[in-house]
Amino acid sequence: MAKITLPDGSILEVADGTTVAQLAEQIGPGLAKAAVAAKINGHLADLSTPISGEAAIQIITVKDNEGLEVMRHSCAHIMAEAICRIWPATKLVYGPTVEDGFYYDVDLDEPIRPSDFERIEQQMTEIVKADRPFVRREMTRAEALKKLAADKYKTDNINRADSEVISFYSHGDHFEDLCRGPHVPSTAKAGFAKVMSVAGAYWHGDPTQKMLQRVYGTAWPTQKQLDDYLHRLDEARRRDHRLLGKQLDLFSFDEAGPGFAFIHAKGMIIWNAIVDFWRGVHNRYGYEEIRTPIILNEQLWHRSGHWDNYKENMYFTRFDDASYAIKPMNCPGGCLVYKTRQHSYREFPMRVAELGLVHRHEASGVMHGLFRVRQFTQDDAHIFCTPEQIESEIIGVIELTFEIYKAFGFEDFHLELSTKPEKHIGSDEIWETATNALKEALRRKAIEYKINEGDGAFYGPKIDFHIRDCLKRSWQLGTIQLDFSMPARFGLVYTDKDNTEKPPVMIHRAVLGSFERFIGILIEHYGASFPLWLAPEQVRILPISEKTNDYARQVEARLKGAKLRCGCDFSNEKIAAKIARAHSERLPYMLVVGPKEAQSNSVNVRVRGGQENKTVGIDEFLSIAGRIIADKEIDLAF
């Protein structure tokens, strides 16, 4: 008998040789139907795998990320067969999954064009409909090498495999591919797929090798999920911050400074609104703010370690016969400020923020609007504290970070903790204290997180914050990073209770990361329909005709007195045209004023995106708008 432990801890006994699929059937027909693969003692496996002895088994469905990946990878096989059916000369190279989908690299001299995608999809649909089982066949490495001797790509794949048993998967009689697996039990379970794009890719990313064709696809468990995904992609194209930024006059780029953003007046209004809010929150959380120079002597960067580890990304300049670097990070400047006086444990924790302008030389190929730039403003801070204070400081940073994200309407975030890598500095003891403090802080805040074992920086463990925008795209924004290296490099000390000098714990942290990039994310997240507190122009007054221009000016003066950002549209156009223009510029509020409003000291309010209008007194409008701004409400409803 095989003894099986299920994820809920219950134990099931089945005959040796029972397959995972049969086990799923025994647990419940619903689960058996949904199952696509299994985890046996932590390893992914096919449902057809026989079980024996003692095993911990988890049935995987497409609701699990791993199940989704198995499904998508199975689609890669199906797409490969479809391509081979259409172009029999195709040589298959490698077909892994990527976020939201998969690709297959193929060696085929005839170019695959977007106009071919439909043909490929038709073949895929046929294969899926045929409901053919995925069947695993194993052989020794030597047998596999002999079988594929004529195929240099697959031979290379075998040589790279770490197992002595090499497996092949077929689905149907005419298609077999070398693969480690697992796969869904049959092609009918491969979901709903679409071929997305094709691009050139060198074999092993090596430009001296042949250029292959990389065909990308996406796959989802249901047609609806596929449609939703395609809709999100469309929406993302429509919201592209580079287009909206130009259309709404927020920022630009010029070849005079590739990767250096020019922020226009309207963009600066958004920028400054974020800075004001950011300062207010940091003030409340006990931060002080400094500013350090952007050009500093090269020697400083030798001392900080950036010269050895980061030189390729730095800009340099020379004057007065000395070499200087333009700062890629704010930390060394922060250390110099710390060193200007003595410190005692009594003043710890010391939280020092800096909106620091940094320059990092990114390759020109990776530049992408505000998302990837060479000059940006980091919302940096350094916390100096004792080892005992790490945990409470981390909790403080987490609370501050969540408060800031929520103000922008980001509610969906996840955290990742990266721990001690093999190559590291600092004693095991300090690593353990620090890592435990990070874990304990996360536990006390009841935050679920992913651990990336061994993925910390060589100088300390870190926590990264990721958010999801309204299109479900994930962005890494914030980071908390402990540093056991820099205080020693700069000889930073504080006087402890026992009157001895000790190096402080240094915590680097950023919440938004880069202001430029964050504003790019906001533009796409909101589709440039900014909440009232961020909108460059919050209200526009639209007089119906010249006769009410004077009243419009009076209303404008009242609004400006209440610190609302507003203007009047005195053009000669009809009121409908004025309204249409304000809508297209994504104005939150339009106040239409005619003789009736002038007489009753009121305004006729239209809300962005809405059809209705409502007449209210000026005072009432001011009080509602004031509340929406103060509460940072996303909803403009009146």
Q: Which of 282, 382, 420, 509 is catalytic?
A: 382
Nearest to Zn ion of 462, 606 (CB atom): 462
Nearest to Zn ion of 74, 389 (CB atom): 74
CB of 331 to Zn ion, least distance (A): 3
Residues of span 331-350 touching Zn ion by CB under 5 A: 331
Nearest to Zn ion of 287, 410 (CB atom): 287
What's the rounded Cα separation, in Å, for the pair 189 and 200?
30
What's the rounded Cα separation, in Å, for the pair 35 and 29?
10
Structure tokens at 97: 């999954």
Nearest to Zn ion of 242, 343 (CB atom): 343
Stretch that binds Zn ion, among 236-244, 264-272, 327-335, 351-359 (CB under 5 A): 327-335
Stretch that binds Zn ion, among 58-66, 314-322, 325-333, 494-502 (CB under 5 A): 325-333
Say whether 380 is catalytic: yes
By CB atoms closer than 10 A (0-12, 13-18, 19+), residue 32 is middle
End-to-end, the C-alpha distance of the chain in Å comes to 68
- SS3 of residue 110 by DSSP: coil
Q: For residue 450, list its beta bridge partners.
A: 416
Say whether 360 is catalytic: yes
- Residue 80 near residue 103 (C-beta atoms within 8 A): no
Say whether 378 is catalytic: yes
Q: Which of 372, 508, 517, 525 is catalytic?
A: 508
CB of 460 to Zn ion, least distance (A): 11
CB of 380 to Zn ion, least distance (A): 6
Pairing of strands 350-359, 211-220: unpaired
CB of 39 to Zn ion, least distance (A): 17
CB of 335 to Zn ion, least distance (A): 9
Structure tokens at 375: 């000059």
Structure tokens at 72: 């998508």
Stretch that binds Zn ion, among 225-233, 330-338, 593-601, 602-610 (CB under 5 A): 330-338
Size of the site for Zn ion (CB under 5 A): 3
Nearest to Zn ion of 380, 569 (CB atom): 380
Among 374, 508, 578, 586, binds Zn ion (CB under 5 A): 508
Q: Which of 72, 239, 282, 360 is catalytic?
A: 360
- SS3 of residue 446 by DSSP: coil
- From residue 102, how far is each of 44, 71, 97 by CA, in Å? 18, 10, 4
Q: Determine if 507 is a binding residue for Zn ion (CB under 5 A).
A: no
- SS3 of residue 205 by DSSP: helix
Stretch that binds Zn ion, among 50-58, 131-139, 179-187, 265-273 (CB under 5 A): 179-187
Q: Which of 213, 378, 389, 538 is catalytic?
A: 378
Q: For residue 268, list its beta bridge partners.
A: none
Stretch that binds Zn ion, among 188-196, 339-347, 507-515, 588-596 (CB under 5 A): 507-515
Structure tokens at 351: 């939280």
CB of 74 to Zn ion, least distance (A): 7
What's the rounded Cα separation, in Å, for the pair 327 and 240?
30
Q: Which of 46, 100, 379, 380 is catalytic?
A: 380
CB of 146 to Zn ion, least distance (A): 21
Q: Determine if 179 is a binding residue for Zn ion (CB under 5 A).
A: yes
- Residue 1 near residue 10 (C-beta atoms within 8 A): no
- From residue 637, how far is each of 203, 366, 530 by CA, in Å? 55, 40, 14
Count of Cβ atoms closer than 10 Å to residue 254 Cβ = 9
Q: Which of 75, 331, 566, 568 is catalytic?
A: 331
Residues of span 424-483 touching Zn ion by CB under 5 A: none
Say whether 224 is catalytic: no
Residues of span 586-615 touching Zn ion by CB under 5 A: none
Pairing of strands 211-220, 2-5: unpaired
What string marks each residue from 134 to 173 as x (binds Zn ion by CB under 5 A) or -? Answer: ----------------------------------------
Nearest to Zn ion of 98, 451 (CB atom): 98
Pairing of strands 322-326, 295-297: antiparallel
Q: At what angle do helices 549-561 and 618-630 cross, to 10 degrees?
A: 40
Nearest to Zn ion of 330, 548 (CB atom): 330
Structure tokens at 245: 């930024």
Hey, what's the torsion of the CAs at 529, 532, 537, 538, to 10 degrees? 120
CB of 220 to Zn ion, least distance (A): 18
Judged by phi (left if over 0) then psi (alpha if -120 to 50, else beta), residue 403 lies in alpha
Stretch that binds Zn ion, among 17-25, 211-219, 326-334, 335-343 (CB under 5 A): 326-334
Nearest CA to 633 out of 561, 560, 548, 532 is that of: 532
Nearest to Zn ion of 393, 524 (CB atom): 393
Nearest to Zn ion of 245, 478 (CB atom): 478
Would you tell me which residues interact with Zn ion (CB under 5 A)? 179, 331, 508
Residues belonging to the active site: 331, 360, 378, 380, 382, 462, 508
